[in-house]
Amino acid sequence: MPRTEILLIRDVETGRSAIDAAAAVIRRGGLVAFPTETVYGLGANALDAGAAVRIFEAKQRALNDPLIVHINDATHATQSLIDWPALTQRQRELYEILARRFWPGPLTLVLPKQASVPAVVSAGLDSVAVRVPDHPIARALIAASAVPIAAPSANLFGHVSPTSAQHVLADLAGRIDMVLDGGPTRIGVESTVLSLRHDPPVVLRPGGVTRDMLAQAGVATTTLTERQADNAAQLAPGMLSSHYAPRAALEIVADTAALIARQVTLTQEGARVGVLLSGAEAESCSRLHPQFVLGVTHAQIARNLYAGLRALDDAAVDVILIARIDGDGLGDAIRDRLERAAHKRA
Ligand code: TXA
Ligand code: MG
């Protein structure tokens, strides 16, 4: 693969020629990383099996981990991706309510797929995951390509998802054709994945659209844990417990006092320890280094979380400490990612 081309885009108006160049790469079966409101995606033509295979090769991703297909309009999915005639009346209603309320936005819907979606995209499953991203560059790229774009997060498999073009390049430079640099992403954690194949629908991955928000739209949901699904791996392929992982070992401790105590112990044992700080901790922990301040609100913590993990990895620490993040809403998504990241060496 030739050098990865990096195109900086300030806005879609002045970035028109960059977006057209990227769309040309997509149309000829190449790979383009692009910003969405959640994280950067690694895109390819979702209807081209050969292009989709390149995504798995570039990321070194396991072939049993299905991709999310990005579209610009809910009706595109019903026409060319979702097996609409096979849906029940209830599934159609849910799709329409959720698409109207949350798209564009960080909600991915899983439904039975049409035969035109290559098996590699859905990892051999008979379902497809679709979403309409809420980012002007993503939407302009999909429109200019005039095809649905399959895009997982643009990181090496199992590593921390990228929230900037620099993160993408750190993992994938030389492995992909192009990166559209649209600056840091707004939400910072991946979309909520909701399976409409079950009634009530099942949240397979918590994300930017919370269960409360879904309930407020009149859609009660359940989770794999609540269902006590013993076939969780089948329902939610790709939800490896070790995922989103930094190189350093990540430890989640109970609170600020435990964080300080653990920092001292580990340092005495000769480990190099980095701390991820949130809320009021920043002040009481100002002497702990290296440190990365995530912010106070859940929204800030989510937005900065992956950058923090990568920054402390770059500082070559052995262990990263963080105090447990409480609260529901986005807190669920933050805890989910932290627990998966911590699982690696737990
Ligand atoms: O926010 C996001 O969703 C980002 C941006 C780029 O859109 N994408 C993303 O993709 O996080 P990825 O590949 O990292 O996560 C896709 C996950 C899979 O690992 C799997 O768990 C779930 O979505 N998924 C995809 N297709 C599925 C299907 N047919 N059935 C069940 N789960 C599916
Ligand atoms: Mg991913």
Indicate the residue type of 75.
T
Ligand 1 pocket: which of 81, 190, 203 to mutate (most atoms <8 Å of CB)?
Answer: 190
Of the listed ligands, the closest to the CA of 151 is 1
Is 182 within 8 Å of 138 (Cβ atoms)?
no
pLDDT, position 345 = 47
Residue 1: alpha-carbon gap to chain centroid = 25
**Which one, of 133, 111, 137, 131, lies nearest residue 122 by Cα?**
111
pLDDT tens across the length of the chain (346 residues)? 569 999 999 999 999 999 999 999 999 999 999 999 999 999 999 999 999 999 999 999 999 999 999 999 999 999 999 999 999 999 999 999 999 999 999 999 999 999 999 999 999 999 999 999 999 999 999 999 999 999 999 999 999 999 999 999 999 999 999 999 999 999 999 999 999 999 999 999 999 999 999 999 999 999 988 887 667 777 777 777 667 889 999 999 999 999 999 999 999 999 999 999 998 898 899 999 999 999 999 999 999 999 999 999 999 999 999 999 999 989 999 999 999 999 864 4
Quote the DSSP letter at residue 162: P
| SS3 per residue for 156-206 | CCCECCCCCHHHHHHHHCCCCCEEEECCCCCCCCCCEEEECCCCCCEEEEC
Distance 173 CA to ligand 1 centre (A): 22
pLDDT, position 229 = 67
Give pTM, 2 decimals: 0.96
pLDDT, position 132 = 98
Residues contacting 244, CB < 8 A, separation 6+: 158, 159, 160, 161, 306, 337, 340, 341
Ligand 1 pocket: which of 160, 163, 185, 193 to mutate (most atoms <8 Å of CB)?
Answer: 193
pLDDT, position 239 = 77
Sign of CA dihedral 266, 272, 277, 282: positive
Residue list, CB under 5 A from ion ligand 2 = 153
Residue 141: alpha-carbon gap to chain centroid = 18
For 100, the 3-state DSSP assignment is helix
3-state DSSP: the chain helix, strand, coil percent, rounded to 5? 35, 20, 45
d(CA 132, CA 136): 11
Residues contacting 314, CB < 8 A, separation 6+: none
Residue appearing with tokens 């950067």: 40
Distance 289 CA to ligand 2 centre (A): 29
Distance 281 CA to ligand 1 centre (A): 33
Distance 14 CA to ligand 1 centre (A): 31
pLDDT, position 312 = 98
